[in-house]
Structure 1
Amino acid sequence: MEPARRMSWQSHPMPAEREMLNYAPFFDDVEAEQLRLGLLPREMEDKWFVFFEEGWLYFHRSWTGHCIFSMRLDGSPAGVRTLEVWVNRNKDQYNSAGSESDIKLLERLISNQLLRRG
């Protein structure tokens, strides 16, 4: 399977209005490889475009191209650790219910969409 790339879909950079989330999951080597493949929307119902570039995993809304989450990942001897996670706080681009719900959404995206557990 070909990995998703920035040029694979419409994408805009993360805006200046952003907040760091207190979220630092660890991924084993198999999971890390799945994350690096990203996610390309296949149907109109697919809401996310995700790609990995230069140590960062970017989560964009597929219809608008707005970057909603970005995660910086770093390899370790037994997998990949998360160094930092940012969420879009531009109210015109993303309507958040707060950091806790943002983390839950990100966890679901990773688990169900990227790691295909759900």
Structure 2
Amino acid sequence: MSVTIWHNPRCSNSRGALQLLHDHGIAPQVVEYLKDPPDRETLHALVGAMGTGARALLREKEAAYTTLGLADPTLDDASLIEAMLQHPELINRPIVRTPLGVRLCRPPQTVLEILPA
């Protein structure tokens, strides 16, 4: 099974989701997104697969969120994705993609929704 996790090793939720994958015998492709940020096409694909809109991936606690005025409800997905491309720290984590779907795994147990039974 091909599984990718966009991971921040400093984040306990991200470490927890990665551990759950390992516990289920899955060795995912680990992308440390702060070192290797996703491109525009990847972010659009992840948002589309999640079906939640780009706002669901934003980290509201980051300084850039306030500085860039990202709380503005009139901003569309393209604008929010552009902000995440320019400031990868705005991307919430961990995001996990499996053949069964894509989820923001907060809490980490959310990853179980997209693993085979």
TM-score, normalization by structure 2: 0.25
Q: Which has the higher contact order (CA 8 A, sep 6+)?
A: 2
- Which structure is higher in helix share? 2
TM-score, normalization by structure 1: 0.25
- Which structure is higher in strand share? 1
